[in-house]
Chains A and B, each alone.
Chain A
Amino acid sequence: MTAIKRYAAGILAIGVSLIVFVVPLLFMVLTALKDRREASKLEFTWPTQIHFWENFQEVVSKRNFMLVTAFINSTILTVVSVAVLVVLAAMVAWVLQRRKSRWSGVVNFLILSGLIIPPAVVPTIWVLQSLGLFKTLPGLILIEVAFGLSFCVMLFRAFIAGIPKELDEAAVIDGCGPVRLFFRVIFPLLRSVMVTVIVVQSVAVFNDFQHPLYFLPGDANATVQLTLFNFQSQFATSYNLLFMNILLITIPPLIMYMFFNRQIVAGMTAGAVKG
Protein backbone atom coordinates (compact mmCIF):
# COMPACT_ATOMS: atom_id res chain seq x y z
CA MET A 1 0.00 0.00 0.00
CA THR A 2 1.38 3.39 -0.89
CA ALA A 3 1.75 6.06 1.76
CA ILE A 4 -1.01 8.23 0.29
CA LYS A 5 -3.41 5.34 0.21
CA ARG A 6 -2.55 4.44 3.79
CA TYR A 7 -3.32 7.94 4.99
CA ALA A 8 -6.42 8.31 2.86
CA ALA A 9 -7.89 5.03 4.10
CA GLY A 10 -6.89 5.82 7.65
CA ILE A 11 -8.41 9.28 7.66
CA LEU A 12 -11.59 8.01 6.06
CA ALA A 13 -11.82 5.25 8.66
CA ILE A 14 -11.23 7.70 11.49
CA GLY A 15 -13.93 10.00 10.14
CA VAL A 16 -16.49 7.23 9.82
CA SER A 17 -15.66 5.78 13.24
CA LEU A 18 -16.00 9.21 14.83
CA ILE A 19 -19.45 9.69 13.35
CA VAL A 20 -20.71 6.18 13.98
CA PHE A 21 -19.16 5.39 17.34
CA VAL A 22 -18.01 8.57 19.05
CA VAL A 23 -20.92 10.88 18.29
CA PRO A 24 -23.53 8.73 20.12
CA LEU A 25 -21.31 8.60 23.20
CA LEU A 26 -20.53 12.29 23.02
CA PHE A 27 -24.21 13.03 22.59
CA MET A 28 -24.86 11.12 25.80
CA VAL A 29 -22.20 13.03 27.72
CA LEU A 30 -23.29 16.43 26.41
CA THR A 31 -26.95 15.77 27.15
CA ALA A 32 -26.05 14.66 30.67
CA LEU A 33 -24.51 18.10 31.23
CA LYS A 34 -27.47 20.15 30.04
CA ASP A 35 -30.43 21.42 31.98
CA ARG A 36 -33.75 19.79 31.51
CA ARG A 37 -35.20 22.15 28.92
CA GLU A 38 -32.15 22.17 26.74
CA ALA A 39 -31.78 18.41 26.93
CA SER A 40 -35.34 17.83 25.78
CA LYS A 41 -34.49 19.39 22.41
CA LEU A 42 -32.32 16.31 21.72
CA GLU A 43 -29.77 18.41 19.88
CA PHE A 44 -26.12 17.60 19.43
CA THR A 45 -24.80 20.89 20.75
CA TRP A 46 -22.48 22.10 23.43
CA PRO A 47 -24.48 22.86 26.62
CA THR A 48 -24.98 26.61 27.10
CA GLN A 49 -24.27 26.06 30.75
CA ILE A 50 -22.65 23.03 32.36
CA HIS A 51 -25.03 21.48 34.89
CA PHE A 52 -22.87 18.57 35.95
CA TRP A 53 -23.14 19.01 39.68
CA GLU A 54 -26.90 19.67 39.82
CA ASN A 55 -27.70 16.72 37.59
CA PHE A 56 -25.33 14.51 39.51
CA GLN A 57 -26.92 15.37 42.84
CA GLU A 58 -30.42 14.96 41.54
CA VAL A 59 -29.74 11.55 39.98
CA VAL A 60 -27.97 10.24 43.06
CA SER A 61 -30.55 11.41 45.55
CA LYS A 62 -33.57 10.45 43.46
CA ARG A 63 -35.91 7.94 45.01
CA ASN A 64 -34.24 7.88 48.36
CA PHE A 65 -30.68 7.43 47.10
CA MET A 66 -31.60 4.37 45.10
CA LEU A 67 -28.54 4.70 42.90
CA VAL A 68 -26.26 4.49 45.92
CA THR A 69 -28.00 1.33 47.13
CA ALA A 70 -27.75 -0.06 43.62
CA PHE A 71 -24.04 0.68 43.39
CA ILE A 72 -23.46 -1.07 46.71
CA ASN A 73 -25.54 -4.07 45.63
CA SER A 74 -23.84 -4.30 42.25
CA THR A 75 -20.40 -4.04 43.81
CA ILE A 76 -21.10 -6.83 46.30
CA LEU A 77 -22.68 -8.94 43.58
CA THR A 78 -19.78 -8.45 41.19
CA VAL A 79 -16.94 -8.90 43.66
CA VAL A 80 -18.31 -11.96 45.46
CA SER A 81 -19.60 -13.81 42.40
CA VAL A 82 -16.41 -13.24 40.42
CA ALA A 83 -14.24 -14.31 43.37
CA VAL A 84 -16.21 -17.53 43.80
CA LEU A 85 -16.21 -18.12 40.04
CA VAL A 86 -12.46 -17.79 39.74
CA VAL A 87 -11.70 -20.33 42.47
CA LEU A 88 -14.33 -22.89 41.50
CA ALA A 89 -13.72 -22.64 37.75
CA ALA A 90 -9.95 -22.96 38.18
CA MET A 91 -10.41 -26.08 40.32
CA VAL A 92 -12.66 -27.69 37.74
CA ALA A 93 -10.44 -26.70 34.83
CA TRP A 94 -7.33 -28.04 36.50
CA VAL A 95 -8.70 -31.52 37.24
CA LEU A 96 -10.47 -31.58 33.88
CA GLN A 97 -7.30 -30.75 31.97
CA ARG A 98 -4.99 -33.05 33.95
CA ARG A 99 -7.02 -36.13 34.67
CA LYS A 100 -8.53 -37.71 31.61
CA SER A 101 -11.17 -40.27 32.46
CA ARG A 102 -14.71 -41.23 31.60
CA TRP A 103 -15.82 -38.20 33.58
CA SER A 104 -14.04 -35.81 31.23
CA GLY A 105 -16.54 -36.44 28.46
CA VAL A 106 -19.45 -35.75 30.78
CA VAL A 107 -17.88 -32.57 32.14
CA ASN A 108 -17.03 -31.30 28.66
CA PHE A 109 -20.58 -31.94 27.56
CA LEU A 110 -21.95 -30.04 30.54
CA ILE A 111 -19.64 -27.11 29.84
CA LEU A 112 -20.85 -26.89 26.25
CA SER A 113 -24.47 -27.13 27.43
CA GLY A 114 -23.85 -24.26 29.80
CA LEU A 115 -22.62 -22.13 26.92
CA ILE A 116 -25.50 -22.91 24.61
CA ILE A 117 -28.64 -23.51 26.67
CA PRO A 118 -30.63 -20.42 27.66
CA PRO A 119 -31.42 -20.72 31.38
CA ALA A 120 -35.04 -21.58 32.19
CA VAL A 121 -36.45 -18.62 34.06
CA VAL A 122 -39.46 -19.69 36.12
CA PRO A 123 -38.07 -23.10 37.12
CA THR A 124 -34.96 -21.33 38.40
CA ILE A 125 -37.16 -19.04 40.48
CA TRP A 126 -38.97 -22.13 41.74
CA VAL A 127 -35.68 -23.73 42.82
CA LEU A 128 -34.46 -20.52 44.43
CA GLN A 129 -37.72 -20.13 46.29
CA SER A 130 -37.63 -23.64 47.69
CA LEU A 131 -34.07 -22.93 48.90
CA GLY A 132 -35.19 -19.64 50.44
CA LEU A 133 -32.80 -17.73 48.16
CA PHE A 134 -35.28 -15.97 45.88
CA LYS A 135 -35.06 -12.16 46.12
CA THR A 136 -31.81 -12.38 48.06
CA LEU A 137 -28.38 -11.19 47.04
CA PRO A 138 -26.71 -14.54 47.88
CA GLY A 139 -29.21 -16.21 45.57
CA LEU A 140 -28.31 -13.94 42.69
CA ILE A 141 -24.61 -14.40 43.41
CA LEU A 142 -24.99 -18.16 43.08
CA ILE A 143 -26.97 -17.65 39.87
CA GLU A 144 -24.20 -15.58 38.34
CA VAL A 145 -21.69 -18.24 39.40
CA ALA A 146 -23.75 -21.06 37.89
CA PHE A 147 -24.26 -19.25 34.58
CA GLY A 148 -20.67 -18.02 34.32
CA LEU A 149 -18.93 -21.30 35.12
CA SER A 150 -18.77 -22.73 31.61
CA PHE A 151 -17.04 -19.75 30.07
CA CYS A 152 -14.52 -19.43 32.90
CA VAL A 153 -13.67 -23.13 32.93
CA MET A 154 -12.96 -22.95 29.20
CA LEU A 155 -10.56 -20.05 29.59
CA PHE A 156 -8.75 -21.68 32.50
CA ARG A 157 -8.54 -25.07 30.80
CA ALA A 158 -6.89 -23.63 27.69
CA PHE A 159 -4.32 -21.86 29.85
CA ILE A 160 -3.60 -24.83 32.13
CA ALA A 161 -2.85 -26.96 29.07
CA GLY A 162 0.24 -24.80 28.67
CA ILE A 163 1.58 -25.44 32.17
CA PRO A 164 4.04 -28.36 32.12
CA LYS A 165 2.83 -31.40 33.98
CA GLU A 166 6.35 -32.05 35.33
CA LEU A 167 5.71 -29.17 37.70
CA ASP A 168 2.84 -31.03 39.36
CA GLU A 169 4.89 -34.19 39.53
CA ALA A 170 7.83 -32.45 41.13
CA ALA A 171 5.55 -30.92 43.75
CA VAL A 172 3.92 -34.28 44.43
CA ILE A 173 7.32 -35.93 44.90
CA ASP A 174 8.19 -33.19 47.35
CA GLY A 175 5.17 -34.31 49.36
CA CYS A 176 2.49 -31.88 48.27
CA GLY A 177 -1.09 -33.00 48.72
CA PRO A 178 -3.67 -32.07 46.09
CA VAL A 179 -4.95 -29.04 47.96
CA ARG A 180 -1.52 -27.59 48.59
CA LEU A 181 -0.41 -28.48 45.08
CA PHE A 182 -3.33 -26.59 43.61
CA PHE A 183 -3.49 -23.54 45.83
CA ARG A 184 0.22 -23.08 46.41
CA VAL A 185 1.78 -24.20 43.14
CA ILE A 186 -0.80 -24.00 40.36
CA PHE A 187 -3.09 -21.16 41.43
CA PRO A 188 -0.33 -18.51 41.50
CA LEU A 189 0.73 -19.58 38.00
CA LEU A 190 -2.73 -18.79 36.68
CA ARG A 191 -2.36 -15.10 37.36
CA SER A 192 -2.46 -13.81 33.81
CA VAL A 193 -5.51 -15.79 32.76
CA MET A 194 -7.10 -14.96 36.10
CA VAL A 195 -6.88 -11.25 35.32
CA THR A 196 -8.65 -11.94 32.03
CA VAL A 197 -11.39 -13.97 33.71
CA ILE A 198 -11.87 -11.40 36.46
CA VAL A 199 -12.09 -8.45 34.11
CA VAL A 200 -14.37 -10.06 31.55
CA GLN A 201 -16.68 -11.55 34.16
CA SER A 202 -16.83 -8.36 36.23
CA VAL A 203 -17.96 -6.37 33.24
CA ALA A 204 -20.49 -9.07 32.34
CA VAL A 205 -21.94 -9.29 35.85
CA PHE A 206 -21.95 -5.54 36.36
CA ASN A 207 -23.76 -5.02 33.06
CA ASP A 208 -26.16 -7.90 33.66
CA PHE A 209 -29.74 -6.79 33.47
CA GLN A 210 -31.82 -9.90 32.85
CA HIS A 211 -30.85 -11.98 35.86
CA PRO A 212 -31.31 -9.26 38.49
CA LEU A 213 -34.61 -8.44 36.81
CA TYR A 214 -35.85 -11.99 37.28
CA PHE A 215 -34.15 -13.18 40.42
CA LEU A 216 -33.74 -10.04 42.53
CA PRO A 217 -36.82 -7.88 42.06
CA GLY A 218 -37.73 -5.04 44.40
CA ASP A 219 -36.50 -1.47 44.85
CA ALA A 220 -34.38 -2.19 47.91
CA ASN A 221 -32.49 -4.84 45.94
CA ALA A 222 -31.96 -2.80 42.78
CA THR A 223 -28.73 -3.27 40.86
CA VAL A 224 -27.33 -0.51 38.68
CA GLN A 225 -28.83 -1.68 35.40
CA LEU A 226 -32.27 -1.82 36.98
CA THR A 227 -32.09 1.72 38.33
CA LEU A 228 -31.72 2.86 34.77
CA PHE A 229 -34.97 1.19 33.99
CA ASN A 230 -36.83 2.48 37.01
CA PHE A 231 -35.74 5.95 36.08
CA GLN A 232 -36.97 5.77 32.52
CA SER A 233 -40.66 6.42 33.04
CA GLN A 234 -40.02 8.95 35.74
CA PHE A 235 -37.61 10.96 33.64
CA ALA A 236 -39.65 10.61 30.51
CA THR A 237 -38.93 14.22 29.66
CA SER A 238 -35.71 14.85 31.62
CA TYR A 239 -33.14 13.21 29.40
CA ASN A 240 -30.35 15.03 31.16
CA LEU A 241 -30.92 12.97 34.31
CA LEU A 242 -31.41 9.69 32.48
CA PHE A 243 -28.19 10.22 30.53
CA MET A 244 -26.33 11.27 33.65
CA ASN A 245 -27.40 7.99 35.19
CA ILE A 246 -26.20 6.05 32.16
CA LEU A 247 -22.94 7.96 32.30
CA LEU A 248 -22.40 7.12 35.96
CA ILE A 249 -22.94 3.39 35.52
CA THR A 250 -20.67 3.38 32.47
CA ILE A 251 -17.71 4.61 34.46
CA PRO A 252 -16.72 1.30 36.14
CA PRO A 253 -16.52 -0.65 32.85
CA LEU A 254 -14.72 2.31 31.29
CA ILE A 255 -12.05 2.20 33.99
CA MET A 256 -11.72 -1.55 33.54
CA TYR A 257 -11.26 -1.02 29.81
CA MET A 258 -8.59 1.63 30.24
CA PHE A 259 -6.47 -0.55 32.49
CA PHE A 260 -7.14 -4.02 31.11
CA ASN A 261 -7.77 -3.40 27.43
CA ARG A 262 -5.42 -6.22 26.39
CA GLN A 263 -6.79 -8.85 28.78
CA ILE A 264 -10.39 -8.10 27.88
CA VAL A 265 -9.70 -8.54 24.19
CA ALA A 266 -7.66 -11.69 24.89
CA GLY A 267 -10.43 -13.22 26.98
CA MET A 268 -13.18 -12.45 24.54
CA THR A 269 -11.30 -13.68 21.50
CA ALA A 270 -10.14 -16.91 23.17
CA GLY A 271 -10.84 -19.80 20.87
CA ALA A 272 -10.97 -17.70 17.73
CA VAL A 273 -7.76 -19.15 16.41
CA LYS A 274 -8.19 -22.71 17.55
CA GLY A 275 -11.87 -22.74 16.73
Chain B
Amino acid sequence: MTTHTTMTTPSVRPRQITDAPRRRRGRSAYPYWFYLPAAVIYTVLFLVPTVASFFFSFTRWSLFDFTFIGLDNFVQFFKEPALIKGLVNTFIYGVVTSGLKVVLGMLLGVLLTSQIIARGFLRSVLFFPVLLSSIGVGMVFTVLMDPNNGLINDALALFGIDGPKWLTDPAWALMSVALVDVWKGVGLATVIYIAGIVSIPAEYFEAAKVDGASSFKSFWNITLPLARPATATVIILSLIGGLRSFDLIWAMTKGGPGFTSDVIASVIYKQYQAGFYGLSTAGNVVLFLIVTAIVVPLSMFLNRKEVEQ
Protein backbone atom coordinates (compact mmCIF):
# COMPACT_ATOMS: atom_id res chain seq x y z
CA MET B 1 0.00 0.00 0.00
CA THR B 2 2.54 2.56 1.07
CA THR B 3 5.01 1.65 -1.63
CA HIS B 4 2.25 2.01 -4.17
CA THR B 5 1.45 5.59 -3.30
CA THR B 6 5.08 6.57 -3.06
CA MET B 7 5.70 5.14 -6.50
CA THR B 8 2.99 7.08 -8.26
CA THR B 9 2.64 10.44 -6.59
CA PRO B 10 6.05 12.13 -6.65
CA SER B 11 5.81 13.03 -10.32
CA VAL B 12 2.62 14.97 -9.69
CA ARG B 13 2.66 16.47 -6.20
CA PRO B 14 5.98 18.31 -5.77
CA ARG B 15 5.49 20.17 -9.04
CA GLN B 16 2.18 21.57 -7.87
CA ILE B 17 3.75 22.78 -4.67
CA THR B 18 6.86 24.28 -6.19
CA ASP B 19 4.88 25.99 -8.92
CA ALA B 20 2.78 27.95 -6.49
CA PRO B 21 5.41 30.23 -4.94
CA ARG B 22 7.07 32.00 -7.86
CA ARG B 23 9.69 33.64 -5.71
CA ARG B 24 10.96 30.31 -4.39
CA ARG B 25 11.04 28.29 -7.54
CA GLY B 26 12.56 24.87 -7.02
CA ARG B 27 12.16 24.91 -3.24
CA SER B 28 9.46 22.87 -1.58
CA ALA B 29 7.28 24.28 1.15
CA TYR B 30 7.93 20.99 2.91
CA PRO B 31 11.70 20.88 3.35
CA TYR B 32 13.42 17.63 4.13
CA TRP B 33 15.54 19.23 6.82
CA PHE B 34 12.45 19.13 9.03
CA TYR B 35 13.29 15.45 9.38
CA LEU B 36 16.81 16.23 10.50
CA PRO B 37 16.63 16.86 14.28
CA ALA B 38 14.36 13.89 14.87
CA ALA B 39 16.40 11.74 12.51
CA VAL B 40 19.65 12.52 14.32
CA ILE B 41 18.27 11.61 17.76
CA TYR B 42 16.50 8.53 16.43
CA THR B 43 19.53 7.31 14.51
CA VAL B 44 22.09 7.86 17.23
CA LEU B 45 20.06 6.54 20.15
CA PHE B 46 17.89 3.92 18.51
CA LEU B 47 19.14 2.74 15.13
CA VAL B 48 22.86 2.66 15.95
CA PRO B 49 22.36 0.65 19.17
CA THR B 50 19.99 -1.71 17.40
CA VAL B 51 22.46 -2.41 14.61
CA ALA B 52 25.36 -2.54 17.06
CA SER B 53 23.47 -5.08 19.17
CA PHE B 54 23.77 -7.60 16.34
CA PHE B 55 27.53 -7.16 16.31
CA PHE B 56 28.08 -7.19 20.07
CA SER B 57 25.87 -10.21 20.56
CA PHE B 58 28.69 -12.24 19.02
CA THR B 59 31.27 -10.98 21.51
CA ARG B 60 32.35 -11.13 25.09
CA TRP B 61 32.08 -7.47 25.90
CA SER B 62 33.09 -5.12 28.72
CA LEU B 63 31.97 -1.84 27.09
CA PHE B 64 35.62 -0.90 26.54
CA ASP B 65 36.92 -3.93 24.68
CA PHE B 66 35.45 -7.05 23.22
CA THR B 67 36.52 -10.49 22.07
CA PHE B 68 34.74 -12.14 19.22
CA ILE B 69 33.30 -15.48 20.36
CA GLY B 70 30.97 -16.36 17.51
CA LEU B 71 27.65 -17.92 18.43
CA ASP B 72 28.61 -18.81 22.00
CA ASN B 73 26.16 -16.35 23.57
CA PHE B 74 23.26 -17.71 21.57
CA VAL B 75 24.25 -21.29 22.25
CA GLN B 76 24.23 -20.45 25.93
CA PHE B 77 20.81 -18.89 25.54
CA PHE B 78 19.36 -22.08 24.16
CA LYS B 79 21.24 -24.42 26.46
CA GLU B 80 21.12 -23.05 29.98
CA PRO B 81 17.85 -24.08 31.66
CA ALA B 82 17.38 -20.68 33.32
CA LEU B 83 17.61 -18.90 29.97
CA ILE B 84 15.39 -21.37 28.12
CA LYS B 85 12.81 -20.92 30.85
CA GLY B 86 12.93 -17.19 30.21
CA LEU B 87 12.36 -17.77 26.52
CA VAL B 88 9.38 -20.06 27.07
CA ASN B 89 7.92 -17.76 29.71
CA THR B 90 8.09 -14.82 27.32
CA PHE B 91 5.87 -16.71 24.88
CA ILE B 92 3.45 -17.83 27.56
CA TYR B 93 3.23 -14.37 29.08
CA GLY B 94 2.68 -12.69 25.70
CA VAL B 95 0.03 -15.14 24.55
CA VAL B 96 -1.85 -15.33 27.87
CA THR B 97 -1.99 -11.57 28.45
CA SER B 98 -2.93 -10.71 24.91
CA GLY B 99 -5.49 -13.52 24.68
CA LEU B 100 -7.19 -12.52 27.91
CA LYS B 101 -7.16 -8.86 26.92
CA VAL B 102 -8.84 -9.66 23.60
CA VAL B 103 -11.57 -11.81 25.15
CA LEU B 104 -12.26 -9.64 28.20
CA GLY B 105 -11.80 -6.41 26.26
CA MET B 106 -14.33 -7.47 23.65
CA LEU B 107 -16.92 -8.64 26.19
CA LEU B 108 -16.53 -5.48 28.24
CA GLY B 109 -16.62 -3.39 25.07
CA VAL B 110 -19.95 -4.97 24.09
CA LEU B 111 -21.27 -4.53 27.61
CA LEU B 112 -20.26 -0.88 27.78
CA THR B 113 -21.75 -0.01 24.40
CA SER B 114 -25.08 -1.62 25.34
CA GLN B 115 -27.84 0.20 27.16
CA ILE B 116 -26.79 -0.49 30.74
CA ILE B 117 -26.72 2.15 33.43
CA ALA B 118 -23.58 3.89 34.72
CA ARG B 119 -21.58 3.38 31.53
CA GLY B 120 -19.44 6.46 32.12
CA PHE B 121 -18.57 5.38 35.63
CA LEU B 122 -17.69 1.85 34.55
CA ARG B 123 -15.57 3.12 31.69
CA SER B 124 -13.57 5.44 33.97
CA VAL B 125 -13.05 2.78 36.62
CA LEU B 126 -11.93 0.25 34.04
CA PHE B 127 -9.53 2.60 32.32
CA PHE B 128 -7.92 4.18 35.34
CA PRO B 129 -5.39 1.37 36.07
CA VAL B 130 -3.88 1.94 32.62
CA LEU B 131 -2.45 5.20 33.94
CA LEU B 132 -1.03 3.82 37.16
CA SER B 133 2.65 3.01 37.39
CA SER B 134 3.36 -0.65 36.80
CA ILE B 135 5.72 -0.72 39.74
CA GLY B 136 3.08 0.68 42.09
CA VAL B 137 0.45 -1.75 40.85
CA GLY B 138 2.90 -4.62 41.12
CA MET B 139 3.74 -3.80 44.71
CA VAL B 140 0.13 -3.39 45.77
CA PHE B 141 -0.78 -6.72 44.23
CA THR B 142 2.22 -8.42 45.78
CA VAL B 143 0.64 -7.55 49.11
CA LEU B 144 -2.87 -8.50 48.00
CA MET B 145 -1.60 -11.86 46.75
CA ASP B 146 0.21 -12.67 49.97
CA PRO B 147 -0.49 -16.39 50.37
CA ASN B 148 -1.14 -16.28 54.13
CA ASN B 149 -3.02 -13.14 54.97
CA GLY B 150 -3.40 -11.42 51.58
CA LEU B 151 -6.80 -9.98 50.75
CA ILE B 152 -7.35 -12.17 47.69
CA ASN B 153 -6.94 -15.46 49.49
CA ASP B 154 -8.98 -14.15 52.42
CA ALA B 155 -11.79 -13.35 50.01
CA LEU B 156 -11.51 -16.74 48.34
CA ALA B 157 -11.62 -18.42 51.75
CA LEU B 158 -15.04 -16.84 52.34
CA PHE B 159 -16.31 -18.98 49.50
CA GLY B 160 -14.48 -22.00 50.83
CA ILE B 161 -11.85 -21.84 48.11
CA ASP B 162 -8.29 -22.57 49.13
CA GLY B 163 -6.44 -19.98 47.03
CA PRO B 164 -3.14 -20.84 45.36
CA LYS B 165 0.12 -19.58 46.79
CA TRP B 166 0.33 -17.05 43.93
CA LEU B 167 3.76 -15.46 43.64
CA THR B 168 5.54 -17.90 45.91
CA ASP B 169 4.36 -20.98 44.03
CA PRO B 170 6.61 -21.73 41.03
CA ALA B 171 3.65 -23.06 39.07
CA TRP B 172 1.58 -19.92 39.67
CA ALA B 173 4.13 -17.10 39.77
CA LEU B 174 4.13 -16.23 36.07
CA MET B 175 0.36 -16.59 35.78
CA SER B 176 -0.15 -14.33 38.79
CA VAL B 177 1.91 -11.58 37.18
CA ALA B 178 0.08 -12.12 33.88
CA LEU B 179 -3.26 -11.73 35.65
CA VAL B 180 -2.15 -8.45 37.20
CA ASP B 181 -0.97 -7.33 33.76
CA VAL B 182 -4.46 -8.06 32.42
CA TRP B 183 -6.02 -6.21 35.37
CA LYS B 184 -3.93 -3.18 34.52
CA GLY B 185 -4.28 -3.35 30.73
CA VAL B 186 -7.82 -4.56 30.07
CA GLY B 187 -9.15 -0.99 30.27
CA LEU B 188 -7.12 -0.01 27.22
CA ALA B 189 -8.34 -3.04 25.27
CA THR B 190 -11.90 -2.18 26.26
CA VAL B 191 -11.77 1.43 25.08
CA ILE B 192 -10.20 0.29 21.81
CA TYR B 193 -13.11 -2.13 21.36
CA ILE B 194 -15.61 0.55 22.31
CA ALA B 195 -14.18 2.80 19.59
CA GLY B 196 -14.37 -0.08 17.11
CA ILE B 197 -17.90 -1.15 18.02
CA VAL B 198 -19.28 2.38 18.00
CA SER B 199 -18.02 2.84 14.44
CA ILE B 200 -20.17 -0.08 13.19
CA PRO B 201 -23.25 1.41 11.45
CA ALA B 202 -26.39 0.94 13.57
CA GLU B 203 -28.37 -0.13 10.49
CA TYR B 204 -26.75 -3.55 10.56
CA PHE B 205 -28.01 -4.23 14.05
CA GLU B 206 -31.46 -2.88 13.21
CA ALA B 207 -31.69 -5.03 10.10
CA ALA B 208 -30.61 -8.08 12.06
CA LYS B 209 -33.24 -7.33 14.69
CA VAL B 210 -35.95 -7.04 12.06
CA ASP B 211 -34.87 -10.40 10.69
CA GLY B 212 -35.27 -11.82 14.18
CA ALA B 213 -31.62 -12.43 15.07
CA SER B 214 -30.89 -13.11 18.71
CA SER B 215 -28.46 -10.81 20.46
CA PHE B 216 -25.86 -13.57 20.45
CA LYS B 217 -26.29 -14.02 16.71
CA SER B 218 -25.89 -10.34 15.98
CA PHE B 219 -22.80 -10.30 18.17
CA TRP B 220 -21.34 -13.30 16.38
CA ASN B 221 -22.20 -12.23 12.84
CA ILE B 222 -21.95 -8.44 13.04
CA THR B 223 -19.91 -7.18 15.99
CA LEU B 224 -17.21 -9.81 15.88
CA PRO B 225 -16.28 -9.55 12.18
CA LEU B 226 -16.76 -5.78 11.91
CA ALA B 227 -14.75 -5.03 15.05
CA ARG B 228 -11.83 -6.75 13.41
CA PRO B 229 -9.62 -3.63 13.17
CA ALA B 230 -10.05 -3.23 16.92
CA THR B 231 -9.16 -6.88 17.48
CA ALA B 232 -6.06 -6.48 15.33
CA THR B 233 -5.00 -3.40 17.29
CA VAL B 234 -5.55 -5.05 20.66
CA ILE B 235 -3.68 -8.21 19.67
CA ILE B 236 -0.71 -6.37 18.19
CA LEU B 237 -0.45 -3.77 20.96
CA SER B 238 -0.70 -6.27 23.79
CA LEU B 239 1.69 -8.71 22.13
CA ILE B 240 4.31 -6.00 21.63
CA GLY B 241 3.82 -4.95 25.25
CA GLY B 242 3.60 -8.48 26.63
CA LEU B 243 6.64 -9.94 24.91
CA ARG B 244 8.92 -7.18 26.16
CA SER B 245 7.26 -6.84 29.55
CA PHE B 246 9.63 -6.09 32.39
CA ASP B 247 8.27 -3.65 34.98
CA LEU B 248 5.54 -5.80 36.52
CA ILE B 249 7.66 -8.92 36.67
CA TRP B 250 10.51 -7.02 38.26
CA ALA B 251 8.21 -5.39 40.81
CA MET B 252 6.44 -8.60 41.79
CA THR B 253 8.78 -11.58 41.55
CA LYS B 254 12.14 -10.43 40.14
CA GLY B 255 11.92 -13.59 38.06
CA GLY B 256 11.51 -15.83 41.10
CA PRO B 257 10.96 -18.12 42.82
CA GLY B 258 14.26 -19.36 41.41
CA PHE B 259 13.97 -18.39 37.79
CA THR B 260 10.47 -19.76 37.23
CA SER B 261 8.94 -16.43 36.23
CA ASP B 262 11.90 -14.97 34.34
CA VAL B 263 11.22 -13.54 30.91
CA ILE B 264 13.76 -12.40 28.33
CA ALA B 265 13.53 -8.78 29.46
CA SER B 266 14.37 -9.72 33.05
CA VAL B 267 17.17 -12.04 31.87
CA ILE B 268 18.62 -9.12 29.91
CA TYR B 269 18.63 -7.02 33.04
CA LYS B 270 20.11 -9.74 35.23
CA GLN B 271 22.93 -10.47 32.77
CA TYR B 272 23.59 -6.76 32.47
CA GLN B 273 23.82 -6.43 36.25
CA ALA B 274 26.15 -9.40 36.39
CA GLY B 275 28.41 -7.72 33.84
CA PHE B 276 27.80 -10.18 30.99
CA TYR B 277 27.22 -7.46 28.45
CA GLY B 278 27.64 -9.70 25.44
CA LEU B 279 25.15 -12.22 26.75
CA SER B 280 22.73 -9.48 27.74
CA THR B 281 22.93 -8.03 24.24
CA ALA B 282 22.38 -11.49 22.75
CA GLY B 283 19.19 -11.55 24.83
CA ASN B 284 18.20 -8.29 23.21
CA VAL B 285 18.78 -9.74 19.77
CA VAL B 286 16.74 -12.84 20.64
CA LEU B 287 13.92 -10.64 21.91
CA PHE B 288 14.11 -8.52 18.77
CA LEU B 289 13.90 -11.59 16.54
CA ILE B 290 11.02 -13.12 18.51
CA VAL B 291 8.97 -9.92 18.57
CA THR B 292 9.55 -9.28 14.87
CA ALA B 293 8.93 -12.89 13.87
CA ILE B 294 5.60 -12.92 15.71
CA VAL B 295 4.29 -9.41 15.32
CA VAL B 296 5.14 -8.60 11.69
CA PRO B 297 3.52 -11.64 10.01
CA LEU B 298 0.60 -11.49 12.41
CA SER B 299 -0.14 -7.84 11.73
CA MET B 300 0.18 -8.42 7.97
CA PHE B 301 -2.27 -11.30 8.27
CA LEU B 302 -4.75 -9.39 10.40
CA ASN B 303 -4.64 -6.34 8.17
CA ARG B 304 -4.85 -8.19 4.87
CA LYS B 305 -8.07 -9.93 5.83
CA GLU B 306 -9.50 -6.56 6.56
CA VAL B 307 -8.77 -5.25 3.06
CA GLU B 308 -10.34 -8.30 1.43
CA GLN B 309 -13.63 -7.61 3.14
Hey, which bits of chain A sit against chain B, CB under 8 A? 1, 6-7, 9-11, 13-14, 17-18, 20-25, 27-28, 31, 41-44, 88-89, 91-92, 94-96, 98-105, 107-108, 110, 114-129, 131, 142-143, 145-147, 149, 153, 168-169, 172-173, 175-178, 181-182, 203, 206-207, 209-210, 213-214, 224-225, 228-229, 232, 239, 242-243, 246, 249-250, 253-254, 256-257, 261, 264-265, 268-269, 271-275
Contacts and interface: CB of A to CB of B under 8 A. Distances in A.
A17 B188 CA distance: 15
Contacts of A6: 115-117
Contact of B52 (A41, A98, A120, A274): A120
B205 to A, nearest CB: 12
Contacts of A147: 45-46
Contact of B131 (A92, A94, A254): A254
| The 4 nearest A-B residue pairs measured at CB | A10-B117, A120-B53, A275-B229, A123-B49
B71 interface: no
Contacts of B284: 118, 120-123
B243 to A, nearest CB: 8
B34 A94 contact: yes
B192 to A, nearest CB: 4
Contacts of B204: none
Residue of A99, A172, A271, A274 with highest tally of chain B CB at under 10 A: A99
A227 to B, nearest CB: 10
A145 B288 CA distance: 20
B206 interface: no
Nearest to A141: B41
B124 A272 contact: no
B192 A100 contact: no
Most buried by A among B41, B131, B133, B280: B131
Interface residues on B, range: 35 or more
Given A42-B150, A129-B63, A24 B140 contact: yes
A265 B251 CA distance: 26
A170 B230 CA distance: 38
Contacts of B133: 206-207, 209, 224-225, 228, 246, 249-250, 253
B136 A246 contact: yes
B42 A114 contact: yes
Contacts of A224: 133
Interface in B158-213: 183, 188, 191-196, 199
Nearest to A168: B29
B125 interface: yes
Nearest to B115: A1
A116 B31 contact: no
Interface stretch (B75-83, B94-102, B216-224, B289-297): B289-297
B128 interface: yes
A53 to B, nearest CB: 21
Interface of B: 2-3, 5-6, 9-10, 13-14, 17, 20-21, 23-24, 27-32, 34-35, 37-39, 41-42, 44-50, 52-53, 56, 61, 63, 111, 114-118, 121-122, 124-136, 139-141, 143-144, 146, 149-151, 183, 188, 191-196, 199, 228-230, 232-233, 240, 243-244, 246-247, 250-251, 265, 268-269, 272, 277, 280-281, 284-285, 287-288, 291-292, 295-296, 303, 306
Given A95-B35, A99-B14, A147-B46, A275 B53 contact: no
B30 A178 contact: yes
Contacts of B49: 119-120, 123-124, 126-127
A114 to B, nearest CB: 6
Given A42-B149, A95-B34, A110-B42, A169 B20 contact: yes
Contacts of B47: 110
17 contacts: A1-B114, A25-B128, A44-B151, A88-B41, A92-B39, A102-B6, A105-B3, A117-B288, A120-B52, A120-B284, A121-B281, A122-B280, A124-B45, A145-B41, A172-B21, A214-B269, A265-B127
A261 B131 CA distance: 11
B240 A273 contact: no
Contacts of A88: 37-38, 41
A22 B52 CA distance: 46
Given A17-B126, A27-B151, A121-B272, A99 B13 contact: yes
Given A118-B265, A275-B306, 19 more contacts: A14-B122, A28-B140, A43-B149, A104-B6, A114-B42, A117-B291, A126-B52, A127-B48, A172-B20, A207-B131, A209-B134, A209-B247, A229-B251, A250-B132, A250-B133, A257-B131, A268-B191, A272-B193, A275-B233
